[in-house]
């Protein structure tokens, strides 16, 4: 009986080893599938991590400067080449410099402390404005309240309006804490730019076909065939 028991134990041991070996071979053969199953379970049970610090979700603010303007022009020149990149991304400082250039001499003379904040699909322009530039656009009561220099906040989206031209189209114009009616915004913008169309032009290479404003930068995309 003892010998029979030992024989059965030996067979059981061999059977277990066989099962383990077969299982090991199967696991190795299907390791990719098993790994995917494990990852799917873990990802389903674990919440998505928060974006890391500095992710493209926090609006960035830039200020115009000669250095940033030249940097923006160099980046645009690269895209203008026949063998240029499919897209380029400009920083908030670079975009602030291009927006300031688009305001024209009169607008720049009436503004100081200019800065541009990048939001999702929108620019927000802030500065200190010489309110005399607005002239008759200021209602009587408001003209008596505002001082000669007041903070101004202008915001709106932008689009490629023509070959080689991006149009920034403000739809909000706030002086100090007084918002102007939306219908008056184009006229106020014209006071800054000296133009008749209510836009701030931003020159771009003729190869640009589209753009996207994000909090971390503005991406210009090459047009098809450009």
pTM above 0.85, yes or no: no
What value does the mean pLDDT take over residues 15-32?
43
SS3 10: helix
How many other C-beta atoms can be found within 10 angstroms of the C-beta atom of residue 10?
10
Per-residue model confidence (pLDDT) at position 190: 92
The strand ranges marked E within 22-74 are 60-62
Rounded distance, CA 9 to CA 158, Å?
Answer: 81
The Cα 211–Cα 177 span in angstroms is 31
Mean pLDDT of 180-187: 93
What average pLDDT does the segment 122-131 reach?
95
b/e string for 95-110 if b means 16 or more Cβ within 10 A? bbbbbbbbbeeebbeb
Q: What is the pLDDT of residue 12?
A: 44
């Amino acid at each position: 009986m003892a010998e029979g028991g030992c024989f059965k134990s030996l067979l059981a041991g061999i059977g277990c080893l066989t099962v383990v070996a077969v299982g090991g071979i199967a696991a190795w053969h299907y390791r990719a599938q098993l790994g995917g199953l494990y990852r799917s379970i873990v990802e389903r049970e674990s919440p998505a991590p928060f974006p890391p610090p500095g992710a493209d979700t926090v609006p960035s603010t830039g200020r115009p400067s000669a250095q940033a303007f030249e940097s923006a022009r160099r980046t645009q020149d690269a895209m203008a080449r026949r063998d240029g990149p499919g897209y380029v991304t400009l920083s908030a400082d670079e975009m602030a410099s291009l927006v300031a250039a688009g305001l024209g001499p009169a607008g720049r003379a009436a503004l100081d402390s200019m800065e541009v904040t990048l939001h999702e699909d929108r620019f927000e322009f802030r500065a200190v404005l010489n309110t005399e530039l607005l002239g008759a656009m200021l209602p009587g009561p408001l003209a008596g309240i505002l001082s000669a220099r007041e903070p101004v906040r202008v915001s709106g989206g932008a689009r490629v309006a023509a070959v080689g031209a991006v149009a920034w189209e403000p739809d909000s114009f706030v002086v100090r804490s007084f918002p102007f009616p939306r219908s008056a915004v184009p006229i106020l913008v014209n006071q800054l730019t000296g133009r008749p169309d209510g836009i701030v032009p931003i020159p771009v290479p003729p190869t640009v076909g589209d753009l996207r404003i994000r909090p971390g930068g503005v991406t210009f995309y090459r047009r098809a065939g450009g």
